[in-house]
Structure 1
């Protein structure tokens, strides 16, 4: 029977010989940590409204994947994990076939950046669309990146199992999204030509988008409409012109169904310039206030007398 000490001595001898360059030791296999839902627990959850459509996929042991489409924006993809298993840096994203489809060539999407936060991967429209298309065609998008505290690769895989149904619902949801989201129209600006109070087609299109959002979001409780002018001419005339500019916008909103009680209409003349260029100061601003927001942040003199819009 061979003594255990014999193996120890042999291993030590091999290390000495390898150090001297007389022999080479076989390299240790590179281990890989893989995360992904199996057939038995793969689910995609659809969340839908006129404000946002999203598909969420739980990845056991890692976190979750999110396909998110906000109103007025393109599709985005996020990979979220509180564990932060991947080290920051470039990762490789590939759409590959599941094990039960051997022989199908993978489709490389490209290099993506992994960051050191809970939402470690944020991808734009191009990559998000390719991920969604891959899943809908029965493929498995896979991200590979080195582990946080070792050199071994971490593989995170999205399962296509049970994706088709929620994806069909997502596409229907996208067709019903509002044209804009709150961040895009919470502060809007209507420009005017010198001495003019006329709304252009582009101005009315912007107001229509604001109307569509306000009608859908019951948390919007007040709309501030502030008229302004440049400093050319008399202050009395400028004050009257800014009032007319505010009123023409407010009247358009009223005519399309906005409750009079929601509107706060004010005229400021040339009191709050935003630029040295006169054209920039000929404007009416529209600002939305939601329930619970501080009204002073939305006032024309919200920064100690200096106009902020």
Structure 2
């Protein structure tokens, strides 16, 4: 539903009506659609004439809300986010949520997790979250209203989906690091929990085809000893992965001693890194030296 309404603004202590282009679904066309997997749960809402409003919860991350317009209607800058009463509940005062940044791109409005939960609560209470921002073209502001009709049933299904999400996503486990104490190749309980998350991800994501396990050491001690210690560290991680169900033919084990220091701090160099490679990934991004991004720590 698209219409124009008058908004009252204050300018030099005089109230003036300002017309606005308003986009929102009505009773007859307000629907919420759930997309679910072990990797992501998304609850999307069609805003007629504008695009989509989407709640998205990726594995290992927090719930987020964003707008995805068909065309860039809002001018980049500072928009206003409020929770309003629907037209059939007059007399309820709107609840200001705060300022939202409106940017260029496919998702011009992305709401932080704290405010996202306010939107959810407002929708469950039958209210209407609304984003207002100046238009790219013309003097009339753009108002996007998110309907609460049929939201509650969709949200219940979304909650069930969230309960089945993996504890981590690919970006979080693509590159991981197990730290070690001086001279040690022992896994701590925290290390094992990290490896368990990696195993669960590998077993769920069938596009993962290779697991690179690279052992490293600091430069304290002889090069021969460091090489042997790095190999021991790599092997203990690889053996744990295999014991938890990762096929041995997926795993490539390499030991590098002190050849590839991550930093000048010895503690940063006593490590084993685990890298996942999915189908279609570029092999050159899976080098052994630990560069190219910050790994996840145990």
TM-score, L = length of structure 2: 0.90
C-alpha distance in structure 2 between counterparts of 1:97 and 1:307, whole Å: 46
1:197 match: 185
Partners of 1:105 and 1:36 in 2: how far apart?
19
Q: Which residue of 1 aligns with 2:225?
A: 237
Instruction: Find out whether 1:282 has 2:279 as its counterpart.
Output: no
- Contact 2:46/2:52 (8 A) holds in 1: yes
Q: Does 1:175 align with 2:163?
A: yes
Q: State the Cα distance separating 1:27 from its structure 2 match.
A: 10
Alignment of 1:225-304 (within 5 A): 225-300=213-288
TM-score by length of 1: 0.87
Residue of structure 1 equivalent to 2:124: 136
SS in 2 for 1:150: coil
CA distance in 1, matches of 2:193, 2:52: 38
The alignment covers a number of residue pairs equal to 282
Matched, 1:221 2:205: no
C-alpha distance in 1 between matches for 2:15 and 2:279: 63
Return the alpha-carbon distance in structure 2 between the equivalents of residues 290 and 82 of structure 1.
31
CA distance in 1, matches of 2:33, 2:294: 41
Higher strand share: 2
Does the C-alpha gap of structure 1 residues 118 and 307 become closer, same or farther in structure 2, counting only changes over 3 Å?
A: closer
Q: Measure, in 1, the Cα distance between the counterparts of 2:34 and 2:74.
A: 27
Three-state SS of the structure 1 residue aligned to 2:18 is coil
Q: State the partner residue of 1:93.
A: 81
Aligned to 1:38: 26
User: Which residue among 39, 43, 48 is the counterpart of 1:55?
Assistant: 43
Give the drift of 1:234: 1.3
- Give, in whole Å, the separation in 2 of the partners of 1:27 and 1:174: 46
Cα gap change, 1:183 to 1:30, in 2 (>3 Å)? same
Greater Rg by CA: 1
Q: Which residue of 2 aligns with 1:73?
A: 61
Question: What's 2:8 paired with?
Answer: none
CA RMSD of aligned residues (A): 2.0
Is the helix fraction higher in 1 or 2? Answer: 1
